Amino acid sequence: MSRMRIENHLATFPKLIGTEKQHNTVETADVRYVYRPIEGLLLVMITNKC
């Protein structure tokens, strides 16, 4: 995955979760975001859905 694509996914992520942080996964057509709040930060893993 190119750096530009990763940066685009990371820029999109906050818009997808909004203020609702009850779930720890969010899916789009292309990728799945798995995240976990840790001391005021979010640890995010982006995976392909293939």
Q: Write out pLDDT tens, residues 1-37.
A: 889 999 999 999 988 887 666 678 989 998 999 998 8
Rg of the chain, C-alpha, whole Å: 11
Please state the domain count of the chain.
1
User: Residue 46 contacts by C-beta under 8 Å, 6 or more apart in sequence?
Assistant: 6, 9, 10, 13, 31, 32, 33
Going by their DSSP bridges, the two strands 25-27 and 41-48 should be labelled as: unpaired
Residues 22, 26, 32: CA angle, nearest 5 degrees: 145
Which domain covers residue 43, as residue numbers? 3-48
Q: What is the pLDDT of residue 34?
A: 93
Quick one: which H or E segment has residue 9? helix 3-17
pTM for the full predicted model: 0.77
